[in-house]
Structure 1
Amino acid sequence: KRTFKLKLGLFGWFLKGFLNTRCTSRGLVSLQRRAHPPMVFLKTHRTGSSTVQNILFRLGERESATFAFPSHTYFEWLFRAAFVDELPEGSSQFDLLCSHMRLDLREVRKVMPQNAVFITVLRDPIKTFESVFGYYTSTVPAFLTAHRAAAIEGKSALSVFLDSPEIFWDPKEPRNGLAKNPMSFDMGFNNQKWNGSWPEDLAQLEEAFHLVMIAEHFDESLVLLGALLGLEHEDLAYLRLNVRAGNSVTDLDENMQAKVRSWNVLDTLLYDFFVQVFWEKASQFGMERLKAEVERLRAFTEDVRRKCVSRAEVPPGELEDLLRPWQTETATIVGYEVQGNLSLQDQGFCIRMMLPELQYHSHLYFKQYGRDMRAAPAE
């Protein structure tokens, strides 16, 4: 992924006035910093994780949290403590780790305090794999080879891949990690095949993660997240980020869905396990209470959207650089246009909510270290 050099120009001017404010139904109010526990958010691929990350970015920035950022662009391989940039001057610990990574619990715990709260999000494996394939067609070798074969056969690239995935997938190619069981890969599992350690690994994850959010129950997940961290509805209001345009999504018939499940059987096991865990936590919270809180969160979020968004699902060519999501070669990622006639403080809040990951990451990194992110070392 490329990076953005966003220093303090117009972007900083917008954001500067919002460091100690929050949006409520009555507008923006002054906010004193509240203490939340340190957090680790395992950002999984194509699960709605960019939306969750944006919530945490906003929370962390407002409360002057110290972020554990990768020293070069993004974490790409199995996580290592050495990948994290240095603790900035004046900070005693890292408060938030919420970048993409491939999980290694022991290494993460070397970086984050012992009382860190671990959260992540999972999504229906069929939807996840379709989205991973469409988004990363040009960068995952197995997908790219299928894409080239499909051009010759006159079929969709995904259908060609699913007909004979073993033909295209080389497990020894490190860039093929997302080509099979991508959520299991992100979790640090052996994503190639079932092995005897899987039940033990699942139990270890269940013990480590305080909350595994479920994308199909996103608002319910946010309510549980809010209860876990002591957040209010205004902290949890969101816009869905990094969303593909409708013509970039492949419709899957029942036959293709069955092939996705067969190819990603470990992701299905992982997802089904944590769906059950999720509803156990929801039951402990109280189902009627959960339903009522979800309704209140949705009503508040809708108010914020009306306040902030002039246009949704805006094509990238119609967006200014600040709000234009990163585009892949095979998927169109749409964004938002901010409402006009807002006060400076309201602009700061609204722009943050719709700010794409790379731009927000670059801004927070520069703010924390006073420099741009370093490029990845040349191979």
Structure 2
Amino acid sequence: NTLLKKSPIGHRIGFTSNHDMILSVQWMERRATPSLAAQAKKDSIHLTWSYTPPVVFLKTHKTGGSTVQNLLFRMGEKDGSTFAFPYYTYQFNYPDKFRADLVDELPEGSSNFDILCSHMRLDMDELRPMMPPNTIYVTILRDPVRTFESVFSCYTSTVPAFTLAKKAAEHRSALSMFLESPESFWDPKEPRNGLAKNPMSFDLGLDGQRWDSWPTDLTQLEETFQLVMIAEHFDESLVLLGALLKLELDELAYVRLNTRSAHDLTPLDDGTKARIRAWNRMDVLLYDFFLHLFWEKAAQYGMERLKKHVARLRAFTDRIGQKCVSRKEVPPGELEDLIRPLQTDSATILGYQVQGNLTKQDQGFCMRFMLAERHYHAHLYFQQYGRAMRPAPKA
């Protein structure tokens, strides 16, 4: 098999065939972090290898989901997993709800999909039949105030309600202008306004206008997701995720992706925070509910055990950073395309520079932590199907 000889980035991450890729990644991880697994075993927290169950990760907007997706990409590539990819581009017909007919075909030789983690808006009736019955469902939530500020900052030019507020703001902050009278800018019938109110609820498939179904919706979400990660407790969330997916702690190490430039962060006073909460009331209730459940799951895991494992995970993550990263918070103009995060018209997304003194094998290992989503997606898609991703159809 020589599929990766034609892969757009295969030559940069060091593989010429699927078989070589799987073996080389496993070898590189041992080589790049030779003492991590040994240290974990020494500390009696090294997990016994067993089958990793199928997983769906619902990647919500501006909550840290890109970092989790990257981890799943790396895990799936190492294991030779079969990804459920969109038929077109790297998102599932967003902002419309997920549709099973827009999942690309099951590749020859695969009996089922193992991982689905591309951007989508949840519809469980469409999603559930696509995955095996033992699939683990995971998503991530973030403090609704910070989520909305980030969504507004990054999508000012693409969400019509935000764009109208920016045009009306003149010399004022566009966010404060919007929050002063959000109903005057927001048209709920405009599909592109989905992120303009309760963006996390929207990604989870909820209708922000239908409070009558809220209790049922919440119960269904609780029954659907075995884990709702919390961005403010990211490392704790990863440890719980690792337990569900039967991953070792060193496999959970990460480089945090898609960080905004400091000058794009909007300072929020108490009044602004209160207005954001009032406008995004469903997201506030959603977050509070799952934050409570999160700590229940943490208690079941064992708080002292969790604290110990978080410390070890952070040590592994620090080691990866020391080995792989030469510069943090690098402006996009100084980054090569493969590791340049996707930019928006209204916010600058920073990235990392890879250490320059690495062997080719270690460079491939390190670059995977920083690959831009669209490039990693394209690489895995090509690896799976032997062809490039299809572009989105023209409207």
| CA–CA distance in structure 1, aligned partners of residues 303 and 50 of structure 2 | 28
Matched ranges for 1:1-379 at <5 A? 7-8=8-9, 10-13=11-14, 16=21, 18-21=24-27, 22-23=29-30, 25-26=33-34, 35-73=51-89, 74-75=91-92, 76=94, 77-150=96-169, 152=170, 154-191=171-208, 193-379=209-395
Counterpart of 2:40?
none
| CA–CA distance in structure 2, aligned partners of residues 200 and 28 of structure 1 | 45
| CA–CA distance in structure 1, aligned partners of residues 182 and 256 of structure 2 | 31
| CA–CA distance in structure 1, aligned partners of residues 36 and 289 of structure 2 | 41
User: What is the TM-score normalised by the length of structure 2?
Assistant: 0.90
SS at match of 1:19: helix
Query: How many correspondences in the alignment?
Result: 369
SS at match of 1:113: coil
- What RMSD over aligned residues (CA atoms) do the two structures have, in Å? 1.7
SS at match of 2:63: coil
Structure 1 counterpart of 2:144, one-letter code? P
Instruction: State the Cα deviation string for residues 102-127 of structure 1 (Å, max 9, x = none).
Output: 10111111111111000010000000
| CA–CA distance in structure 2, aligned partners of residues 166 and 243 of structure 1 | 30
Instruction: State the Cα deviation string for residues 112-156 of structure 1 (Å, max 9, x = none).
Output: 111100001000000000001111111111111111112x2x011
Instruction: State the Cα deviation string for residues 71-116 of structure 1 (Å, max 9, x = none).
Output: 0111112011111011111111100000111101111111111110
Unaligned runs of 5+ in 2: 1-5, 38-48
Structure 1 counterpart of 2:217, one-letter code? D
Instruction: State the Cα deviation string for residues 46-73 of structure 1 (Å, max 9, x = none).
Output: 0000000000000000101000011011
Structure 2 counterpart of 1:122, one-letter code? L
SS at match of 2:139: strand
1:27 CA displacement: 6.2
1:25 CA displacement: 3.7
Q: Percent identity?
A: 63
Counterpart of 2:44?
none
Structure 2 counterpart of 1:178, one-letter code? L
| CA–CA distance in structure 2, aligned partners of residues 97 and 164 of structure 1 | 38
Instruction: State the Cα deviation string for residues 16-59 of structure 1 (Å, max 9, x = none).
Output: 47433325642699xxx963111000000000000000000000
Return 8-17 or 113-122, whichever deviates more: 8-17
1:228 CA displacement: 1.2
CA contact (8 A) 1:137 1:330 kept: yes
SS at match of 1:20: helix
User: What is the TM-score normalised by the length of structure 1?
Assistant: 0.94
CA contact (8 A) 1:226 1:232 kept: yes
| CA–CA distance in structure 1, aligned partners of residues 81 and 108 of structure 2 | 13
SS at match of 1:311: strand
Unaligned runs of 5+ in 1: none
SS at match of 1:312: strand
| CA–CA distance in structure 1, aligned partners of residues 24 and 352 of structure 2 | 20
CA contact (8 A) 1:54 1:357 kept: yes
CA contact (8 A) 2:112 2:131 kept: yes
Indicate how the Cα distance of structure 1 residues 201 and 9 shifts in structure 2: closer, same or farther if over 3 A, else same: closer
Structure 1 counterpart of 2:327, one-letter code? R
SS at match of 2:327: strand
CA contact (8 A) 1:18 1:349 kept: no
Structure 1 counterpart of 2:68, one-letter code? V
